[in-house]
Amino acid sequence: MIQIGVRRKWQKLLELYRERGFRKTVAELLRVLITSIWHREVVFIRGRIIEGLTFFGSNEEVDASTVECRTLQSPLAIEQVKQEIPASFRDSTDSLKKRLEEGCIVILARKQREGTQEHEVLGYLIAEKGVFSALGRKIKVGPDVLYFHYYEVLPEYRRKGIANLLVRAMEDYARSNGLRKYYALVSAKNPVARQILRGKSNEMLGKVEWMSILRGLYVRETPWQEIEKTLRKLGD
């Protein structure tokens, strides 16, 4: 098994060398080496009190009349639309169904295919009531809280306002279900998500850090007591 793993890694390096040349291959080798020795991730905790209209920093919009958002709350609901969901998404229909079984909601942004009565899903968002998740753990928080796990949009529809529509639909769901606020973790490496979640009522509450040395021989991460203290800042 070790020999197979090593062979695959060499095959990937050879493919990279053929496609991108010597310099890119060396750069990738250095990145893998450095990451194996020292790796650090930082994500920011953002939160919002849900009241009034949603405000976003991006002005890019799709024609809202051509895209509808549908909120799924049960495993049965995903069965009704599974033919509309492209296989290229990170989550398969089975993965989304499992999320629903675990208590999440799934919001789909869908558009009618031209000349037909069928729809195609352009993007989706996953959220969950009453929890907060970080560092591979999930904790219970207030019953008035919605946790925004993540979203995905098809590459050809990115930067066209689909993510904005999904977040707005999430907030509409929260208002209609008596949820007062939501939290999200946003990577420092994801400027698009930071832009979408940046608004007049959207606060950057703190951050969560994780650092590993020598492939986990030494690990340091933000203590959970500090994370829980950070969450309490919203609405104080």
Q: Which residue shows structure tokens 């869908």?
A: 110
Report the DSSP beta bridge partners of residue 146.
129, 182
Report residue 149 CA to chain centroid gap.
5
pLDDT, one tens digit per residue, over 18-54 is 777 888 888 877 777 776 787 788 999 999 998 765 5
| Dist CA 121 CA 40 (whole Å) | 34
Cα–Cα dist 203/236, whole Å: 12
Q: In the predicted model, is pLDDT for residue 78 greater than 90?
A: yes
Look at residue 236 and tell me if it is in a domain: no
Q: Is residue 18 part of a domain?
A: yes
Q: How confident is the model at residue 74 (pLDDT cuts 50, 70, 90)?
A: very high
Distances (CA, A) of 168 to 8, 41, 230: 43, 28, 25
Query: Where residue 115 sits, what CATH number does that domain have?
Result: 3.40.630.30
Would 33 be classed as within a structural domain? yes
- Is 170 a member of any domain? yes
Residue 10 in any domain: the answer is yes
Note the pTM of the prediction, 2 decimals.
0.79
- Sole residue written with tokens 């009190």: 49
Query: Does residue 5 have a pLDDT over 60?
Result: no
| Mean pLDDT score of the chain | 84
* 183, part of any domain: yes
- Number of domains comprising the chain: 1
Q: Whole domain around residue 221: which residue ranges?
A: 2-231
**What percentage of residues in the chain have a pLDDT greater than 70?**
83
